[in-house]
């Protein structure tokens, strides 16, 4: 059961309190910049985590400026499309409303509030791999400032290359189920206030552990349903 810290109270709350009840995720991005993209990324993680738990989700983007740029930037980062808040009205009967907001901005007073710390490096290189940007942001807890400097992006790019190559190699071996203890640690991590850095640490442990290659493959494919890093992208590529 996913629990998230409500920034209004500092206390954890259940993200989907009504079983199978609709949860609305509303991302508040006032303008296009790396911090607003991080807000959209956290909203995307919430959507993915709730769907993995069987909760229906409705995601919206709220903002007044540079909406086309935000939608395009989100798509480049592998963030699922949002509906435009201006095109919909009330009356959907949500069981829960979660607002994902900038920690340095204003926020609605209703529902649960998830605050996202800023991205300190204001300019993302034009030639940066969008998936490396996504991984660099996922590597830092959302309540801590993130940097998209060359070191962070370089490390993320190297990790993606290594993991995709490994996943493609593991896929050539007989499939094995995700070890239950690994599955449990992954779910415990992302259901504990979306602790994605711990999910990544668990993948690194599996990478080095005495686990059958087929189980490694299934583990990475399973975790990527949350991470959205296209870890299976190189399946079938020449060894």
2 contacts 196 by C-beta, under 8 angstroms: no
Residue pLDDT tens, the chain, 239 long: 899 999 999 999 998 876 667 899 999 998 899 999 999 999 999 999 999 999 999 999 987 778 889 999 999 999 999 987 554 444 455 678 999 999 987 777 888 999 999 998 656 777 889 999 999 999 999 999 999 988 999 999 999 999 999 999 999 999 999 999 999 999 999 999 999 999 999 999 999 999 999 999 999 999 999 999 999 998 876 66
In 3D, which of 113, 98, 97, 44 has the Cα closest to residue 75? 44
Contacts of 31 (CB under 8 A, 6+ apart): 63, 65, 66
d(CA 80, CA 42): 11
Q: Tell me which residue has tokens 């607003």.
A: 36
User: Could you tell me which residues are beta bridge partners of residue 13?
Assistant: 4
User: Could you tell me which residues are beta bridge partners of residue 26?
Assistant: 60, 99
Q: Tell me which residue has tokens 């400032």.
A: 145
Cα angle for residues 90, 38, 61 (degrees, 5° grid): 20
Give 3-state DSSP helix, strand, coil % of the chain, rounded to 5. 45, 15, 40
Contacts of 188 (CB under 8 A, 6+ apart): none
d(CA 199, CA 212): 19
Task: Let me know how long the chain is.
Answer: 239
- Token readout for 212 is 């059958």
**For residue 85, what is the DSSP state?**
G
The confidence score (pLDDT) of residue 90 equals: 47
The confidence score (pLDDT) of residue 142 equals: 96
The confidence score (pLDDT) of residue 38 equals: 96
The confidence score (pLDDT) of residue 121 equals: 65
d(CA 116, CA 113): 10
User: Residue 62 CB: number of other CB atoms within 10 A?
Assistant: 18
Domains delineated in the chain: 3-118 (3.40.50), 153-227 (1.20.120)
């Amino acid at each position: 059961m996913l629990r998230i810290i409500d920034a209004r109270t500092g206390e954890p709350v259940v993200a989907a309190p009504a079983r199978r009840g609709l949860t609305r995720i509303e991302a508040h991005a006032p303008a296009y910049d790396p911090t607003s993209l991080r807000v959209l990324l956290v909203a995307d993680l919430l959507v993915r985590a709730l769907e993995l738990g069987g909760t229906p989700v409705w995601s919206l983007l709220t903002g007044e400026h540079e909406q086309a740029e935000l939608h395009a930037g989100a798509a480049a980062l592998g963030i699922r499309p949002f509906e435009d808040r201006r095109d919909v009205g009330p009356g959907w009967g949500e069981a829960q409303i979660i607002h994902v907001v900038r920690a340095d901005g204003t926020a609605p007073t209703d529902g649960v509030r998830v605050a996202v710390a800023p991205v300190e490096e204001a300019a993302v290189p034009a030639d940066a791999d969008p998936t490396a940007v996504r991984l660099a942001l996922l590597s830092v807890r959302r309540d801590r400032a993130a940097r998209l400097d060359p070191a962070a992006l370089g490390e993320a790019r190297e990790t993606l290359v290594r993991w995709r190559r490994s996943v493609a190699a593991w896929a050539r071996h007989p499939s094995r189920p995700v070890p239950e203890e690994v599955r449990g640690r992954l779910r415990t991590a992302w259901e504990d206030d979306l602790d994605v850095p711990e999910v990544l640490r668990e993948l690194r442990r599996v990478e080095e552990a005495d686990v059958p290659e087929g189980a490694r493959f299934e583990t990475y494919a399973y975790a990527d349903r949350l991470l959205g890093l296209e870890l299976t992208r190189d399946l079938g590529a020449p060894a």
